[in-house]
């Protein structure tokens, strides 16, 4: 009897969004922490490769309460039910970024083209507890029931092409970029866990880096905006997103870097489309944490290893938690300065 009453309660609150998440499924194209320190500094011409491990653990929850009158046979019944729902996700991604930096200047700056591939795993669970009571002429009947849904997937993610321009003026460095999402990754609209996001995007913005090699002081910031195309499977279109990544560091030597990183994300436009059934929700989140970096030779190339982590706060309509990055980059080494030839002295 109790299970039957709980099923009625689930049906009664099913039309109410239990976990309100802006952006489709609470997921944005921009991965929190994408940019960081030295983002706008010029790179060495030629091919470089970055291998990135990214982990995030996030959760979100909400309570939904509803009271309504229903009919069981000929008996009018007053139903009061509360649904407490929580979603938890653990995601591990490997990103491989291949970049070519052009030696020939473009518009007085340095041009580069990149392609990012993704492979990883996503384990997501949805837990719900419904409690309430049925008030009948014969008295009140309390009930309670817990249900859980678990889903996991391992596969390839979407492809992300990027084009960037960088300019240098002494300690001041400037960057402009445009990138997008090619939705070819593992995605099914009926799944709880996915690797791909199911729709295309265009993301563009600019950045600045102050870097003084003499003092080792560094400060970077990158501001970007994402336009999301409609998901053809769900007919859901996420609103325009704004994201700002920043990094501040001090080089203790030419090889060791320590500092802080952070980001702010805010959805500017409302979600829309026939598949949007939750109305004009907008999401936001912020994060901050430590970083450490190391520069070292790899044969005749240069290696760079960076560790950074973020704790999220100020989240609205979006899962939040923490995430960590491990980035390893191999790129052409900076040319070694050569001494000018000695002048011959003649008598």
pLDDT tier, 51 (very low <50, low <70, confident <90, very high otherwise): very high
The C-alpha atoms of residue 277 and residue 262 are separated, in whole angstroms, by 32
1 falls within a domain: no
What value does the mean pLDDT take over residues 126-147?
69
Mean pLDDT of the chain: 84
Sign of CA dihedral 233, 239, 242, 243: negative
3 state SS for 64-81: EEEEEEEEECCEEEEEEE
CATH number, domain of 275, equals 2.40.160.40
Given a cut of 90, whether residue 309 has pLDDT beyond it is yes
The C-alpha atoms of residue 25 and residue 189 are separated, in whole angstroms, by 10
The C-alpha atoms of residue 274 and residue 254 are separated, in whole angstroms, by 55
302 falls within a domain: yes
180 falls within a domain: yes
Given a cut of 60, whether residue 27 has pLDDT beyond it is yes
Predicted confidence at residue 17, as pLDDT, reads 43
Given a cut of 70, whether residue 311 has pLDDT beyond it is yes
pLDDT tier, 91 (very low <50, low <70, confident <90, very high otherwise): very high
What value does the mean pLDDT take over residues 186-195?
90
Phi and psi at 246, nearest 5°, equal -140, 155
65-74, 307-316, 333-342: least confident range? 65-74
The C-alpha atoms of residue 320 and residue 286 are separated, in whole angstroms, by 9
pLDDT tier, 125 (very low <50, low <70, confident <90, very high otherwise): confident
Given a cut of 50, whether residue 185 has pLDDT beyond it is yes
Given a cut of 50, whether residue 89 has pLDDT beyond it is yes
11 falls within a domain: no
Q: Three-class SS of residue 24?
A: helix
155 falls within a domain: yes
Predicted confidence at residue 15, as pLDDT, reads 41
48-57, 67-76, 187-196, 213-222: least confident range? 67-76
What value does the mean pLDDT take over residues 324-344?
73
Convert the pLDDT of each residue in 10-23 to its tens digit. 444 444 444 555 67
The C-alpha atoms of residue 158 and residue 180 are separated, in whole angstroms, by 10
320 falls within a domain: yes
pLDDT tier, 80 (very low <50, low <70, confident <90, very high otherwise): low
341 falls within a domain: no
28 falls within a domain: yes
| Structure token digits, residue 60 | 């979100």
Given a cut of 50, whether residue 5 has pLDDT beyond it is no
The residue assigned the tokens 């993704």 is 118
| Structure token digits, residue 137 | 């002429």
Given a cut of 80, whether residue 315 has pLDDT beyond it is yes
Predicted confidence at residue 274, as pLDDT, reads 86
Given a cut of 90, whether residue 136 has pLDDT beyond it is no
CB 300 within 8 A of CB 271: no
Structurally, how many domains does the chain consist of? 1
Helix (H) or strand (E) holding 12: helix 2-13
Query: Considering the chain, what percentage of its residues have pLDDT values greater than 70?
Result: 78
Given a cut of 80, whether residue 256 has pLDDT beyond it is yes
Domain residue limits at 29: 23-61+93-121+150-332
Q: Which residues have C-beta within 8 Å of that of residue 51, sequence separation ≥ 6?
A: 94, 95, 96, 97, 327, 328, 329
Predicted confidence at residue 9, as pLDDT, reads 45
pLDDT tier, 130 (very low <50, low <70, confident <90, very high otherwise): low
pLDDT tier, 133 (very low <50, low <70, confident <90, very high otherwise): low
Predicted confidence at residue 190, as pLDDT, reads 87
Given a cut of 50, whether residue 312 has pLDDT beyond it is yes
The C-alpha atoms of residue 300 and residue 287 are separated, in whole angstroms, by 37
Convert the pLDDT of each residue in 217-232 to its tens digit. 999 999 999 999 999 9
């Amino acid at each position: 009897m109790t299970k039957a009453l709980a099923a009625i309660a689930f049906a009664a609150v099913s039309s109410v969004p239990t976990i309100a998440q802006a952006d489709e499924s609470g997921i944005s194209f921009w991965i929190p922490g994408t940019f960081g320190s030295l983002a706008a500094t010029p790179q060495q011409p030629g091919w470089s490769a970055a291998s990135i491990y990214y982990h995030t653990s996030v959760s979100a929850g909400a309570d939904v309460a509803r009271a309504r009158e229903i009919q069981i046979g000929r008996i009018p019944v007053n139903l009061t039910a509360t649904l407490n729902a929580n979603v938890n996700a653990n995601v591990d991604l490997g990103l491989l970024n291949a970049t070519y930096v052009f030696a020939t200047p473009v518009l007085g700056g340095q041009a580069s083209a990149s392609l990012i591939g993704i492979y990883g795993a996503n384990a997501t669970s949805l837990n719900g507890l419904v409690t309430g009571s049925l008030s009948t002429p014969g008295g009140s009947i309390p009930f309670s029931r817990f249900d859980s849904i678990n889903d996991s997937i391992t596969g390839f993610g979407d492809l992300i092409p990027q084009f960037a321009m960088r300019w240098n003026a002494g300690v001041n460095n400037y960057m402009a970029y445009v990138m997008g999402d090619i939705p070819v990754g593992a995605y099914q609209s009926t799944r709880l866990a996915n690797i791909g996001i199911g729709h295309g995007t265009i993301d563009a913005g600019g950045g600045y880096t102050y870097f003084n090699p003499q003092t080792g002081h560094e400060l970077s910031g990158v501001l970007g905006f994402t336009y999301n195309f409609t998901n053809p499977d769900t007919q859901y279109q996420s609103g325009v997103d704004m994201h700002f990544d920043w990094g501040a560091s001090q080089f203790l030597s030419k090889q060791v870097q320590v500092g802080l990183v952070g980001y702010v994300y805010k959805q500017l436009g409302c979600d829309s489309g026939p598949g949007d059934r939750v109305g004009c929700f907008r999401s936001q989140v912020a994060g901050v944490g430590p970083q450490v970096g190391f520069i070292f030779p790899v044969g005749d190339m240069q290696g760079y290893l960076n560790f950074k982590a973020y704790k999220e706060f100020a989240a609205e309509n979006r899962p939040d938690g923490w995430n960590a990055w491990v980035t390893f980059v191999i790129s052409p080494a900076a040319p070694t300065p050569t001494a000018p030839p000695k002048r011959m002295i003649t008598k």
